[in-house]
Amino acid sequence: MTNTTNVIRMGVVGAGAIAQRGILPHLSLSDVQDRVQLQAVCDPVPGRAAAAAQKFGVKRAFTTYEALLEHGDVDAVSICSPISLHYEQGKQALAAGKHIHFNKTMTTTVAEATALIDLARAKGLKIVASPGEVLRPHISQTRKLIMEGAIGIPVWTICGAAFGRYHEEEIFRKGDDVLSNVDPSWYFRKPGGGPLYDMTVYALHGLTSVLGPAKRVTALSGTRIKEREFRGAMIPTDADDNTLMLLDYGNNLFSMVYGTAAGNVPTGGPTFFGATGAIMGTKLNGQPFDYPGKDQADLPNGNVSWALPHVVGEHRALGELHVYEDVMQLVDWVREGKVTPVTAEHARHVIDIIESAYRSAETGQVQDLTTTFEV
């Protein structure tokens, strides 16, 4: 079917937790129907895609991804499947002529990311790869403040994230119906599992949005918690869940980054220490700094995601606001030619950091990063 309406027909690949929080509820609201419509959803779990389609008003439901690509009549897909599947599913989507929004992380290796970037370019297709931390106005303002000397000479930074029991205890895993009994086992298994690909990726995107591409990485990494309990059963784990890395930006500017089994540094995002000050989250030397959209973020029940350009109205009451924003970046790019700063090249550089950190831990050697991106 040829699309002549300039409304992007979206296919959602996977109807698990991220799709139910961040894609399906947002794209089913009336205020976006003039730009994007839910056309199809697929999931291999029997009945899950059909249940999601009924709940969110999706036109077509499939149990296989191949059927969605062939019969879903979609212009683009949002890939919400386990990270280990992203490369092959991305390659299939591009071969079928579909634009792609990747939920983090785009792939698990630089080689895979490069192959998708090259294929998309050759076919004239667009990729937006979450997480688009570069879109956050407070991140852009942090970069501006540092470049203007607000903290003096930047010296070091710290950021990261920890698993805890977040995935075992999500609401979408505690019920008895097909939409609320989603198995989290893949988060703890190779390839694609572990906190670096799943959670620390946010911190790395935010960090590199401010400081630009890193040059080298060294790390210690391994699996600390050997099994996880879910609904009374034990899940063997093999993905690294305890990683500490050091990034080198050149000229002796360093970053400490963690992706751990438990324990967070409570700074509200990357913290930047300079010779004469520090930026922690949205505070400069302990005081809130101004950034575009701060008036919205400071509203009752507001947060920094309310400063994102598409996060308005009913969307603010839903979850995963940043994911919805990334999807709409793709929609605007395809419809209007409005190029987004959320690039696949940036995502590839973060993948380079993660992949190289694991290699460093295995070899005991500092690893040179081979990728870059435009800041």
From the list 325, 28, 45, the residue with the least C-alpha distance to 172 is 45
Structural tokens at position 311: 């996060």
Structural tokens at position 39: 């056309």
Ranges of the chain whose pLDDT falls below 70? 1-4, 267-268
- Whether 107 is covered by a domain: the verdict is yes
301 and 350 in one domain? yes
pLDDT in the model for residue 4 = 62
DSSP 3-state percent helix, strand, coil across the chain (nearest 5) = 40, 20, 40
292 and 159 in one domain? yes
3-state secondary structure of 102: strand
Domain boundary among 129, 162, 187: 129
3-state secondary structure of 230: strand
348 and 218 in one domain? yes
Domain boundary among 111, 129, 147: 129
pLDDT in the model for residue 84 = 98
214 and 68 in one domain? no
- Whether 270 is covered by a domain: the verdict is yes
Domain at 191, CATH number = 3.30.360.10
Q: How many domains does the chain have?
A: 2
Structural tokens at position 134: 């570069």
161 and 24 in one domain? no
Structural tokens at position 261: 């089994």
105 and 18 in one domain? yes
Domain boundary among 129, 145, 176: 129
From the list 132, 78, 135, 92, the residue with the least C-alpha distance to 344 is 132
- Whether 330 is covered by a domain: the verdict is no
pLDDT in the model for residue 3 = 65
pLDDT in the model for residue 265 = 87
Q: What are the residue ranges of helices labelled H in 212-336?
A: 294-297, 321-336
87 and 115 in one domain? yes
50 and 140 in one domain? no
- Give the pLDDT confidence of 355-368 residue by residue, as tens digits: 999 999 999 999 99
Structural tokens at position 22: 């961040």
- Whether 2 is covered by a domain: the verdict is no
78 and 211 in one domain? no
pLDDT in the model for residue 231 = 93
Please state, in angstroms and rounded to a whole number, the distance separating the CA atoms of residues 201 and 199.
5
Please state, in angstroms and rounded to a whole number, the distance separating the CA atoms of residues 58 and 73.
12
Q: Give DSSP secondary structure letters for 158-205.
A: EEEEE-TTTTTT-GGGSSSSTTS----GGGGSTTT-SHIIIIIHHHHH
211 and 118 in one domain? no
- Whether 291 is covered by a domain: the verdict is yes
142 and 117 in one domain? no
- Whether 295 is covered by a domain: the verdict is yes
CB 126 within 8 A of CB 101: no
3-state secondary structure of 78: strand
CB 75 within 8 A of CB 14: no
Q: Which domain holds residue 287?
A: 134-305+343-368
Domain at 38, CATH number = 3.40.50.720
101 and 247 in one domain? no
Structural tokens at position 319: 């979850």
* pTM exceeds 0.85 for this model: yes
CB 261 within 8 A of CB 162: yes
- Whether 167 is covered by a domain: the verdict is yes
pLDDT in the model for residue 340 = 98
pLDDT in the model for residue 42 = 98
- Whether 327 is covered by a domain: the verdict is no
